[in-house]
């Protein structure tokens, strides 16, 4: 599991994560991330055969509530958070 990431791999991961990186960042992060991935690979030492995963520790499941509908009334407050808006619409670059 221990790995040294290449620049190509770092660029590919960055694209998946929608992060534009400078060349400097690609180089710096590839070394730092490789060191971290190398460290965490020590988990290979632990025997986890037949061990279930932990997704959360509360022991709760299927916590539900009534689907009540009520008027929110503060739509403008949310639209105001957007960097660009037009009336009650958030404005973005064209999708297609």
Partner 1 sequence: MKIDLQNLTIKSALDAMSRKEFSCADLIYSVFERIREHDGKVYAFLELLEKEAMEKALETDQRIASGSPMRPLEGIPVAIKDVISTRGVRTTASSRILENFISPYDATIVEKLKDAGAIIIGKTNCDEFAHGASTENSAFGTSRNPWDLMRSPGGSSGGSAAALSASFCLASLGTDTGGSTRQPAGWCNLYGLRPTYGRISRYGLISMTSSTDTPGIFAKTAYDTALILSVISGVDKKDATTLPSAPEEYHSKIDRSLEGLKIGLPKEFFQDISDEKSAEAISAAILKLKELGAETKEVSLPHTKYAISVYYIITPSEVSSNLGRFDGIRFGSRSDLASNLFETYTKTRGQYFGPEAKRRIMIGTYALSSGYYDAYYKKAQKVRTVISNEVNDVLKEVDVLATPVSPHVAIKLGEKSDDPLSMYLEDVFMDTAVMAGLPALSAPAGFAHDMPVGLQLMGKQLDEKTILAVANQYEKATSWTEKYPVL
- Which residues sit at the interface with partner 1, rule CB under 8 A? 1, 5, 9-10, 13-21, 25, 28-29, 32-33, 35-37, 39-46, 48, 51-58, 60, 63, 65, 74, 77-78, 80-84, 90, 92-95
Q: Cβ 62 to partner 1, closest distance in Å? A: 9
Closer residue to partner 1 (CB): 8 or 41: 41
Please check whether residue 7 is in contact with residue 26, taking contact to mean a CB–CB distance below 8 angstroms.
yes
């Amino acid at each position: 599991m221990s790995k040294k990431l290449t620049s190509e791999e770092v660029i590919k991961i960055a694209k998946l994560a929608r992060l534009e990186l400078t060349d400097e960042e690609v180089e710096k992060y590839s070394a730092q991330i490789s060191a971290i991935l190398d460290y965490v690979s020590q988990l290979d030492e632990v025997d986890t055969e037949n061990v279930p995963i932990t997704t959360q520790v509360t022991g709760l499941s299927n916590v539900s509530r009534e689907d009540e509908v009520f008027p929110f009334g503060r739509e403008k407050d949310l639209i105001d958070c957007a960097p660009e808006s037009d009336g009650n619409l958030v404005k973005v670059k064209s999708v297609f």
